[in-house]
Amino acid sequence: MALETVAVFGAGAWGTALAQASAMAGREVSLIVRTEAQADAINASHANEVALPGQTLLPAITAKTDVSDADIIILAVPAQATRTLLTSLDPHLLSEKPVILSAKGLEVGTLARQSEILADMAPRAIGHVLSGPSFAGDVAAGRPTAVTLAGDDANLTSDLAAALAGPSFRPYAADDRIGVEVAGALKNVYALACGAVEGARLGASARSALIARAYAEMARMVHALGGSAHTLTGLAGLGDLTLTCTSIQSRNYQFGMALGAGGRTQEILAGGAKLAEGVATAPVAAALARSLDVDAPLIDAVDAVVAARADIATVVAGLMARPLKREH
Ligand SMILES: NC(=O)C1=CN([C@@H]2O[C@H](COP(=O)(O)OP(=O)(O)OC[C@H]3O[C@@H](n4cnc5c(N)ncnc54)[C@H](OP(=O)(O)O)[C@@H]3O)[C@@H](O)[C@H]2O)C=CC1
Ligand SMILES: O=C(CO)COP(=O)(O)O
């Protein structure tokens, strides 16, 4: 299968960074934007000043409002927009093509993972999931980054990883799509919690305890959903959980800090917060845990705080008062 040309849908921070990584790997890239004005601005300046200010984009990237064909399709819109985007695309564009899902979130209403949305909307597409510790700014600037790329066909996934790999972007091929995408979605929920710990000044010990217990909870969720808990030892699990749960660069962590400082979700959103996928995913993950009968006290705690059903002090007291148990 030819893997020369790439179309990236979604010209936010992550879509632009993945376009840049693809261009660094030697691919010819179409970055699909929503308006001609956006396309003109990006092509004239060789930069996406809205999404990634100050970052020069490689000449192999052309911004467009549409594309008729590409060997590799990357979807990089927010998790809640993936279905709408897929509704608008010509099914022939995706048919028998590798489609890489890069959003990290679960769909409100359906509780669906990104690859379930793709299977629903474009059953002939060959779904892959890309996740791992990777801030858009780092990837676009060529700072060393490693991610997981999971798909069902081992040979194709390895070929895709090779087609996107560059001197500073290293995708590891894997086969556990469920584990990779559940990890990517849930780490945003835990990043809200860790940010809240910081915002409420509960201390570094609390944050590390939270990360370790989040890992255990995530393993229960992945297992219950049919993925492999072993996947969590890798980039999409441990790698992204530690990055997002400890870095103030993370938008989810920043949102959590605002919650921890006493802000309410609606106020923080109204104040112009950047995209924090965990806000939409927390109630979905909580519903999923209930439907699977998985014990998920941390997801429940984040859900309660995000929905303003409880304050941080109350959920922390509740977590600390849970019956003592053996660690494993
Ligand atoms: N930023 C990062 O470091 C990383 C982000 N991700 C994930 O990537 C996903 C996107 O995040 P990110 O790029 O940062 O978010 P941004 O908020 O920077 O950008 C989102 C982009 O999606 C576009 N968009 C929204 N809805 C649609 C739609 N229906 N059709 C077409 N385009 C649409 C927006 O377009 P418009 O501007 O026209 O509104 C915007 O350009 C998230 O799931 C995030 O978790 C993953 C790894 C790293
Ligand atoms: O997923 C990311 C890094 O791997 C980006 O995290 P935020 O969306 O929290 O900024």
Phi-psi region of 293 (alpha: psi -120 to 50; beta: other; left: phi over 0): left
pLDDT band at 68 (very low <50, low <70, confident <90, very high): very high
Give percent of the chain with pLDDT exceeding 70: 100
- Both structure tokens of 129: 């999931």
pLDDT mean over 156-182? 98
Q: Is 97 a catalytic residue?
A: no
From the CA of 274, which ligand is nearest? Answer: 1
For 133-147, what is the mean pLDDT? 98
Q: What is the pLDDT of residues 89-101, one digit of tens each?
A: 998 999 999 999 9
CATH class, range 178-320: mainly alpha
**Assigned token pair, 285:** 């993950």
Per-residue pLDDT tens over the stretch 269-307:
999 999 999 999 999 999 999 999 999 999 999 999 999
CA of 1 to the centre of ligand 2 (A): 31
Ligand 2 touching residue 27 (CB < 6 A)? no
DSSP state of 239: I
pTM of the model: 0.98
Statement: residue 328 has pLDDT above 90: no
Residue nearest to atom 8 of ligand 2 (CA): 251
Q: Are strands 61-64 and 28-32 parallel, antiparallel or unpaired?
A: parallel
Which of 80, 104, 255 most suits a substitution to test ligand 2, by most atoms within 8 Å of the C-beta? 104
Is 305 in a helix, a strand, or coil?
helix
Q: Give the residue extent of every domain in the chain.
A: 5-175, 178-320
Over residues 52-64, mean pLDDT: 98
* Residue 134 DSSP SS3: coil
In the CATH scheme, what is the code of domain 5-175? 3.40.50.720
pLDDT digit string (tens) for 5-40? 999 999 999 999 999 999 999 999 999 999 999 999
Amino acid at 26: G
* Per-residue pLDDT reduced to its tens digit, 193-244: 999 999 999 999 999 999 999 999 999 999 999 999 999 999 999 999 999 9
Q: Taking the alpha carbons of 214, 215, 219, 222 in that order, is the dihedral positive or negative?
A: positive
The answer to whether the CB of 100 falls within 8 A of the CB of 77 is no
* Residues 217 and 193 sit within 8 Å (Cβ to Cβ): no
